[in-house]
Amino acid sequence: DAGVIQSPRHEVTEMGQEVTLRCKPISGHNSLFWYRQTMMRGLELLIYFNNNVPIDDSGMPEDRFSAKMPNASFSTLKIQPSEPRDSAVYFCASSVVGLAGGNEQFFGPGTRLTVL
Amino acid sequence: AQSVTQLDSQVPVFEEAPVELRCNYSSSVSVYLFWYVQYPNQGLQLLLKYLSGSTLVESINGFEAEFNKSQTSFHLRKPSVHISDTAEYFCAVSSGGGADGLTFGKGTHLIIQP
């Protein structure tokens, strides 16, 4: 199993540009989560999906952020326009909801975003 | 609302010494508790979890954590650490067992000194 795949691994862009981060969850997983990690705020949940449907987007910081999950094997997180304060590591995680043993979230390697 | 407090941002210990990383949580509902480990430039990996049952949970690499409901704590311990344990450790809480999002603490950087 390849695990959760994120692309790109590193992204450097200029303020005002559109940024799209991509995530492929583990095959068979039905929940997908986007987190952001910064030194100041630590790890924060941005949004999560169950069966491709957004369940809770209360962590999305502003309207500049949007996320989609068009199918079970792909999700995007878009920032438009980007700002320097969006610089962070963005993690995608997936899990299988409904297991009796609990729902371990498997994390991807992250995308390090730098907005200049 | 839920929150997690990791009291120590850094914990330096000598190799083969015991270590305890502290975690306290607050929640108005029943919670599930997790410890994740993050090695440099990598994603997070689950170390261990408490869902129900025995309050003492163990990982395969010698870590253990004990759920203490009265003290709202879930401290992580290891009797003898190795250089390879150097990493960032995150305590997390969920009301849905991980089916909903996790609320993380700020993390504790475990530094193993030879």
Residues in B lying within 8 Å of A, measured between beta carbons? 32, 36, 41-46, 49, 51, 90, 96-107
Q: Is A59 exposed, middle or buried (0-12, 13-18, 19+ CB in 10 A)?
A: middle
Report the residue from B44, B99, B103 with minimal CB separation from A31: B99
DSSP code of residue B83: G
pLDDT tens for A61-79 read 889 999 999 999 999 999 9
Residue A106, SS3? strand
**How confident is the model over A80-103, as a mean pLDDT?**
85
Q: Taking CA atoms, what residue in B is nearest to A108? A: B43
Give the pLDDT score at A96: 86
CB B63 within 8 A of CB B48: yes
- Report whether pLDDT(B71) > 60: yes
What are the pLDDT digits (tens) for A7-54?
A: 999 999 999 999 999 999 999 999 999 999 998 999 999 999 999 999
Backbone angles phi, psi at B23, to 5 degrees: -145, 125
> For residue A99, what pLDDT is reported?
56
